[in-house]
Amino acid sequence: MKILSRMLVFAFLAMVAVGCDSEPTDSEKLVGAWTLTKITDGRGDITTPFKQQVTTLRVTMNADLSDKFEVLYSAAAKAAGATDVSSVGTYVVVEASKQVQLKNLGTTLTLNYAFSEGNNNEVTFSLPAAVVNVIFGSTQYQGTVAITATKP
C-alpha cells in the first residue's frame, strides 16, 4: 500500500509539473488590450497617413469573451465629420483556422491572426481591404490590410 501511495503522489506531481509548463492557448494569449502600432495594405506601410486620421485603434478582449472595439479620430478627422467609435460586444477564437470573430455593432467581423515569433504581446490581424473600407467609410485601402497590434 505504501508503494501505491508513493506512486500516486509521484503521478500527481508529474501532472502538476507538466501542467505548469504548458504553452497558453491562442484564446488565452489574445486576452488583453491590443493597440495598433503598424498598418499595411496592398501598397505597403500606411501607418503614418492612417495615424493622421486615427489616433487610436484598439480592441480589448476579455477572458469572459466580451470585447470592446475603439476607434479614436484625430481633431482634423473630427473636423471633417468623423466620430469616435466605442462598441462593446463578444468574440470567438477559432484556433484551427487562426481567426477571431468580433461581434460588435450588429455584425460579425472575421480577422485572421498571427502572433509574432517568440512574442505573445504582438499580433497581426489581417482582413480584406473591402471590409476596412466599409468600417472607415473609405475607398482608399487596397488588397489585404494587416494591422500589427501590441499589448502591455
| pLDDT over 50 at 125, yes or no | yes
CA gap 19, 74 in Å, rounded:
46
Mean pLDDT of the region 50-72: 96
Mean pLDDT of the region 125-131: 95
CA gap 128, 112 in Å, rounded:
10
Cell representation of residue 25? 492557448
Q: Sorting pLDDT into bands at 50, 70 and 90, what band is 2?
A: low
Q: Sorting pLDDT into bands at 50, 70 and 90, what band is 18?
A: very low
Cell representation of residue 148? 500589427
Residue 3's pLDDT is what? 55
Residues whose CB falls within 8 Å of the CB of residue 127, separated by 6 or more in sequence, listed in order: 109, 110, 111, 112, 144, 145
